Structure 1
């Protein structure tokens, strides 16, 4: 059941990230998240009310902390998607998000069967291989130099976002107490706080932004609302999976989502898949098979 839930979360995350990246390319990361994050909050709030359960301040605090980390990760991730090829950004972020929970789970004494451990290691290798894409620079973007150019690098921001997502995965594990989905509501509130604080800062100090044309605005809203709903659903699937199983296993399987993002980018934007990426996807299938058998 943990394998099915985690892989379902990976599927939902992969589609959500593709839609979010498409929205960020039409506007900005923060504008996309201004629609995406409240939609996610509405979805998890409705789900928590329907499923019932209650929780104490401890789990809610863990959830809120996870949301702060996740919100920071979302901003840097959407920015990275807008600056670099999806087939580079998504896997780099996922690899960082997978390694951190595995390290923490191991330090906490989690032990996997030999077959499952081999499958997890293959999945980590697969994520790394899928990330080996020769991204091209955006020749139409204004040139930057020094620290600004470094901080605006798609792969670097992807690594930062992955670290934030890894912290998100770890804190959600700590938030679970069998009290329903309310820690996820607290996490989404944390997302909202981070995103709208960034929006307020941008409005005060970032200067005026270019208006979005009406037609593009409708497309942007549709993409971000759907992305937000899928992302919230993925959060719920992962949350349930990690409460029933090991942190290292659930996080690694969930972090296979780049395969979905890469395939959708390949179909929609004709982003080229190198031989090493195809090999990575094949290894991912083998890793998932070993985890399932184990």
Structure 2
């Protein structure tokens, strides 16, 4: 059950990130999130009301803090997508997101069977292989200026920051527990919304440019679909992590870049390198070992 839920979350996250990245390419991260986050909140709120459970301050607080981390991760992730190739940004973010929960799970005493542990390790290796950037001089658009500013605002670095935020999100949702239905996810989406609103207010106060608006039926639909799928993925991960171990659920969920990479390959003809193909094969082997174990 944990494997099915976590892999389903990976599928939903992968599609959501691809759609969100598509919107960001024609707008900006904050403009895309202004559409994605509210619709996601509506989806999880409806799900929480339909499935029952009680609103409890403790789990809601854990969820809200997780949402703050997730919201920060979304903003930096979408900015990274605007700075580098989708087939590089998404896997780097996922690798960072997987390592933190594994470390926390092991530190808290989680012990995996030998075959499952090997499968988890293979999945981590797979994420790393898929994330390897081409060394052919390809450069993404980035901020002008030299030195540290350019480095810190580069696609891979921003992707690493976003992944760390997502890893914290995974860990904190585990702490929220599962005794109150889906309400901790509602708290998490409220945290997402708080980050987006704060970013919009900051830009308004600074007089910053929010960039082109999300306009046109196609882009709006893509943004709404991205937000809905991301919210659905949150729910699937929450169910997975509360029915199994943090280290296992987080690693399997973090395989979502395979979906993003494949969709980017189809839609944008982003080159899938030999090492990335090997990474996907390793991912399949890792998932198989986890499933058998």
TM-score (norm 2): 0.96
CA contact (8 A) 1:36 1:225 kept: yes
- Structure 1 residue 64 and structure 2 residue 64: aligned? yes
Q: In structure 2, what is the equivalent of residue 159 of structure 1?
A: 160
Superposed counterparts of 1:71-90, under 5 Å: 71-90=71-90
The aligned counterpart of 2:180 is: 179
Contact 1:32 1:220 (C-alpha < 8 Å) held by counterparts: no
Unaligned runs of 5+ in 2: none
Shift of 1:211: 4.3
Pairwise CA distance, 1:184? 0.3
Residues 169-197 of structure 1, C-alpha deviations (whole Å, 9 max, x = no match): 00000001321000000000000000110
Task: Determine if the alignment matches structure 1 residue 145 to structure 2 residue 157.
Answer: no
Q: Does 1:191 align with 2:201?
A: no
Q: Which residue of 2 aligns with 1:200?
A: 201
CA distance, structure 2, for counterparts of residue 210 and residue 287 of structure 1: 41
Using the alignment, how far apart are the partners of 1:92 and 1:142 within structure 2?
A: 20
Q: Which residue pairs with 2:222 in the alignment?
A: 223
| Partner SS state of residue 244, structure 1 | coil
In 2, Cα distance between equivalents of 1:267 and 1:123: 23
1:127 corresponds to 2:153: no
Q: Per-residue CA shift, 1:202-240, capped at 9, x if unaligned?
A: 122143455448xx4433221111000000000000000
Structure 1 residues 211 and 272: alpha-carbon distance in aligned structure 2, compared to 1, 3 A threshold: closer
Distance 2:213 2:49 in 1: 35
- Alpha-carbon distance between aligned partners in 2 of 1:95 and 1:210, rounded to the nearest angstrom: 29
Q: Report matched runs for 1:7-156 at 5 Å.
A: 7-134=7-134, 136-138=138-140, 143-156=144-157
Distance 1:155 1:210 in 2: 22
Change (3 A) 1:208 1:260: closer
Q: Which residue of structure 1 lines up, in the alignment, with residue 231 of structure 2?
A: 232
CA distance in 2, matches of 1:22, 1:52: 35
| Cα deviation 1:15-70 (Å, max 9, x = unaligned) | 00000000000100000000000010000000000000114211111000000000
Normalising by structure 1, report the TM-score: 0.96
Q: Which residue is 1:284 aligned to?
A: 283
3-state SS, counterpart of residue 124 of structure 1: helix
Q: CA deviation at 1:142?
A: 6.0
Moved more, 268-277 or 195-204: 195-204
CA distance, structure 1, for counterparts of residue 66 and residue 213 of structure 2:
32
Change (3 A) 1:112 1:142: closer
Query: What is the count of residue pairs matched by the alignment?
Result: 291
Across the aligned residues of Structure 1 and Structure 2, the Cα RMSD in angstroms comes to 1.4
Match of 1:249 in 2: 248
Tell me if structure 1 keeps the 8 A contact 2:6–2:240. Answer: yes
Change (3 A) 1:142 1:122: closer
Distance 1:138 1:59 in 2: 41
Contact 2:77–2:159 (8 Å) recurs in 1: yes
User: Matches of 2:261 and 2:178 in 1, distance apart?
Assistant: 35
